[in-house]
Each structure stands twice: as structure tokens, then as C-alpha cells.
Structure 1
Amino acid sequence: MRTFRYEPATSAETAVELLAGEPRAAFLAGGTNLVDLMKLGVETPEVLVDVRRLPLDEVVATESGELRVGAAVTNTDLAVDPLVRSRYPALSQALLAGASTQLRNVATVAGNLLQRTRCSYFQDVGKPCNKRRPGSGCPARTGVHRDLAVLGASSHCVATHPSDMAVALAALDARVTCLSAEGTRTVEVVDLHRLPGDSPERETVLRRGELITCLELPAPVEGARSAYRKVRDRASYAFALASVAADLHVVDGRVRHVRLAFGALAAKPWRARRAEEALLGGEATAAEFEVAVGRELSAAEPLRDNGFKVVLARRLAVAVLTDLAAGQGTTEGSRA
């Protein structure tokens, strides 16, 4: 690991100022992804601005029914929070499906959202990678790509975003508040990450030096149920091959409210807008779910070895929606 300077921030404003004055600086919170990438030589910051000890570690219910989560709240604390378990079970399930207990105890909410792809070409500095070195190429397209993107990819990059939590947040219409030298702004989680296009090195819409300070979840829809489900090669400590987060409300056999998002299929959590539009107002049956999800996944462009992910994601989404419609989609804390 290269030599770097360590700067503990005393406030969010100070952290932003410190980063703005250093062209090769990065925010450090839990460090579960950043430090690994520094050891690999993928990330080479000259200054680390520590934001872990800032007073951003509370989970608070607002008078309007929303839930405000500080950026430094750990994955474990958020997963076991009583309000999260009862009102947003998909979020708790997604967090508990990610990493190991030890990592969840350290990793933060903001760090989880901003973790970088686990594509092996990106993590190996001895190989070309447009995300790491723009213009060098994407060998994954013809190389090892079984775990990589089938939606929203480009000729420049087929990496996937690894976060489980982000998929649940996308389905729950969450948003983040960010602080920069220009002030604060709010960004929807579904808009936070970018598809690769011609510039895969730009992974989010965050500006340089912008710090996520909190996450906000809207009040849950009365009567709706949510769930997150993940398929992976191993039963634990493995990233998803495909995952699904859904929030569904059925009245008299028809879909009154639906939110659906896929994970591990694209460079960002994939909000299934076409499927939602097809489902809303229709019959809540497995057959209708199959048609709607198929419409969403018709945009998929799999590579040589990852076409199975399309079938896997379709079956997974239909199963989750069917279980939710039957009132069996959450094992604890359903909101029905």
C-alpha cells in the first residue's frame, strides 16, 4: 500500500473542505471496500478524510412517517433496527444477505451505496479496464463475464454494481442527501448510479468532494408488503448472480401499488419501470407477473456466458411477487 496522509474530520463541512483542497483525496468511513482497493493498487489516494466519527449515525422516524438514516450508520445497526424490520423488511433482508457479520459491523450505509464493482478485470491493475483506465478496453466482454451485466451495459463496460442494500432502496423510493461546497441537494437512489455508456469511469452523479450525509425512506404504503431475495453460488458470503426487491400492495386480487428492482444485472440497481407499468391495476397472478417481468427483461443483451441470468432473474421476480401477493413474502414485520 502506498503512503497516504490521514485527516480526521470534525464536521461534515470540514470534511468537504478538506477533500476540496486535495486533488487526490478520498472519504474514509468503514473502509471495507476502499482499503481493499488500496491494497490492490486500484485506488491510490494521497489523503484519507475520515468521516466515520461524524454525528451521522442515528436512525430517526420523522413526524411525516419517513425514516432518516445517517450515512455513518452501520449495515448491522440498520438491518436490526426495529423500525426497519417492521416497516421496510426488504431493506433488512437485503442488508443481512450481504457480506459477513464482521463486515456488516463495520461497513456504513453510504459506503455500501458507493462500493465499487467486483469485476476481476477492474480489480487487477495488470489488466486493461475502461473503468480504471479509460480507453484501455474491456476484456470482460470476450473474457470472464459470467457474473456481469445483461442490462444497460455498453461496449466500454459490462460491470455490475455489487450492493444488495442499494437494490432494496431503489425499490423503496429512497433518496440520499449530499453536502458539497455549493450546499446540500437530494438525489433519488435510482438516479445515484450511472450506466457506463461511453464513460464507465464515472459511476455516480456525485460531484467531486460531495459527501452523502443521510438516507431517507418515504413512509411505507399502507397495506403493502416488501421482500428481497438473492441467488448466489454459495449460501453465504457471496455476491448475487441475480437479486430482486419488491414492494407490493394487492386489493381484491388486483395490484394497487408495486415497486420492483433487480440487482446484479447492471452497473446500477435496475428499477423495473416497464414491469411496474404493466402490473399496476392488473390481476395479481403468477401469469401476469411472468408477462410483466418478461417485458422488462426483453431489453437484456447477455454475453456468451451469462444468458442464464435473464432466466434466473425472471423466475426469481415472479416467485417474489407471487409470494408477496399471497401474503407470504415477509417472514417478519409485514405491513399488511
Structure 2
Amino acid sequence: MKILITGSAGFIGSALSLRLLERGDTVIGVDNLNDYYDVRLKEARLARTLDHPNYTDVRLDIEDGAGLTEVFRTHRPERVVNLAAQAGVRYSLENPMAYVSTNLVGFANILECCRHHGVEHLVYASSSSVYGANTEMPFSVHDNVDHPLSLYAASKKANELMAHTYSHLYRLPTTGLRFFTVYGPWGRPDMALFKFTRAILAGEPIQVFNYGQHRRDFTYVDDIVEGVIRVLDRVPAGNPDWSGAKPDPASSRAPYRVYNIGNNQPVELMEYIAVLEQCLGRKAEMELLPLQPGDVPDTFADVTDLVRDTGYKPDTPVAVGVARFVAWYQDFYTQEARAH
């Protein structure tokens, strides 16, 4: 298949591109390589795919509607995975307009291009943050999610609503994936695992919010990629049992679906830190802090629908995933230090 991936220099986008190329797909990778975090890391991720004969590298911002239209017109992708987004809950408190530009305007451009160029299926990244103030665990896609606690979360919920509209009006099949705390090699430097590793190795204290009382459904990146591919291959149809009298938020009469994609096994933050300490062979000095604005105390994914529809359940244990991350981190930054 010919698949367009936005955010192709990103953590998940880069790993997904590699896997699709390995199985014989053609990939058009779209990324603007912005400087939200270290561009050298993005370039190093991209370097893994650039020489592949079936990979096309496009440097473009999805906010550029005309540019994006040209890419769709030229390459005619059959399926699209939208992973380009302004990420991060905390940054959305400081710079809300970045989320409006990329996550709302950019996503509207993606929907328009899919609609006008006969795309068979759009898969897009939503987030576990859409559950916001919900406290019923595990989080279910059949629950109402109308109380986001950050603009990042609100923008992801908005993406689901926008996608539904296009599925309804233009019969564009769309699937939203609510990712739960993705981690692993080549990860994002603004995520806890990366920050903790860097600080512990430098002998600096780590900031532990909510006094370490967080529980997170940490999901290993390879599990996420496997889930994305299985969903991408399964074009949603309308749900014939859907009822407007009792509307199910996870499906529709339109070709629309939303899934949780998480490990389905929440881990306490302190346990996660203990695993990291073990892998690094060093103790962390901790600065215990209150819950950050916009953060939720716990996340826990109900993945029943994903398992039922795709036969897949993420299952990499945290001890295995963290060990792989640490091995990658030490290798990557040793080479980086040598290069400079």
C-alpha cells in the first residue's frame, strides 16, 4: 500500500515508517522538523528511513494547506496516519496557540486532503488525556469524555469530533487511537523516562509530581506500532446497532471508530523509577512535588474493543521496555558525545 505518515520524524511516526517499509509498503513521510525538542534526535530517527527506496521524505508543516494538497495530489496515498501534533500537556499551559495551529487547523487540512483525494482510511493519534476529569477505571472508549483538563486534551477530543463529521458527511473511514503514555528507544526528551534517565546519569534530582502517587498505563512503542498497523489494515464500517437514543461514543452509523491502545496494566510511578534505577545501576535523588495543573493522577486503558476487533493486546512488561530504552539511550548519547 501507499501510506502517508505525518510526524514521520517523531517517536511513533519514525518507528511506524520503518515497520511499514519492512513489510513492503510505500511510505510518504511528512514532517516539519520543528524545534519543540532536539532536532538532531529527529534527524537521527529519519536517517533510518531516508535511504530506503520506498520512502519519500517531505519537509512540510500540516498547517500549510496548499502545500499539503500538493503532496496528496502528487503522491495519491491510499491510507493516511496522522501523528503530527503539538504534543505535551505541560507545554499547552504556556503556549496554547501552538495547539490550535497544529492540532486543529493542521488536522482540518488533513481531513480535507483525505476527503478530496479518495483516501481509503485515515488513522489519527488521539490521547488518553481526553479522559480528563473521568475517574472510573479502567478508561473505556464507551465513556463520555467532555471534561478535558488541558488544551492539549481538548484539541485531541476535537480531532475525534472533526473526524466523526467527515466520516458522517463524506463517508471517509476514520479511526482514532487514544495512546497511553508511550515510551521506549528513540523516545521524546520531554517525557518522564527520558528526563529521569538524563538527570540520574548527571547526578541531578528528578522532579516527581503528585508525590509519586501517579499510576500510568505505560505502553511500549513496538506495541503501539503493532496496534496502529492492525488498525490501519482494518477499514471501519458503520455500526448497524448504533442508536441516537443511546449514543455510543466509540462508534457511529458512519465509518468511524475510536480505540484505546494501552498496556492495560497501570504501573505506579515509584515502581517505574525503581525499574529505571535498577537498569542504570544508580539511585535517583527525588524532589517530590504536588500534582501539576492539567495532569491526571491515573491512567488505565480498557482495550477490550481493540482486542476484539484486531486480535491484538499490547503486553511488553515495563522491566523489558525500560531496559531497552536505557540500552538505546546510553548507546545513542555515547555516539553523540563522540561526534561532538
- The answer to whether the superposition gives a TM-score over 0.5 is no
Q: Which has the higher helix share?
A: 2
The structure with the largest strand share of the pair is 1
TM superposition score normalised by structure 2: 0.29
